Amino acid sequence: MTLTAPFDLAASTAPAATAATAAADAAWQPVCPLDVLEPLWAEAALVHGEQVALVRLPSDEVLAVSHRDPQSEAYVMARGIVGSRNGIPTLASPLHKQVYELSTGRCLTDPDLRIRTFPVRVRDRVVEVLAA
């Protein structure tokens, strides 16, 4: 379609929407193929300069939290124990055993602690994490 004067607002919104979609997609960083993540096991990854721990659930949902342990400040969370409490996926610190909900970052064993969470999506079987 060729635009002519006067400017056609309806025709102009499609390229803007495409640009907005492209910008939004650029904030998602591809991290790895889904198949390299073992279910119920955490792996560390560098995402937009930040260390994260990725956990693949048996349903193929992937959750991401900071690799930094809030208690010790050591980067060890990907070596934690993946489990669940009342059906909610959890990750326990390998150092002091605090247990965190993977979806919210809430610490179930110490209300003063919280772990940062990251939005994750799987597109075409590739795990992507949203930039902070």
Tell me: the pLDDT tens digits for 75-99? 999 999 999 999 999 999 999 999 9
pTM of the model: 0.80
**Count of residues making up the chain:** 132
User: Can you list the domains of the chain with their CATH numbers?
Assistant: 9-130 (2.102.10.10)
61-80 confidence digits (pLDDT tens): 999 999 999 999 999 999 99
112 conformational bin, left if phi > 0, alpha if psi -120 to 50, beta if neither:
alpha
Q: Which two tokens stand for residue 34?
A: 């889904």
In tens, the pLDDT along 10-24 reads: 333 444 546 666 666
Q: Is 55 exposed, middle or buried (0-12, 13-18, 19+ CB in 10 A)?
A: buried
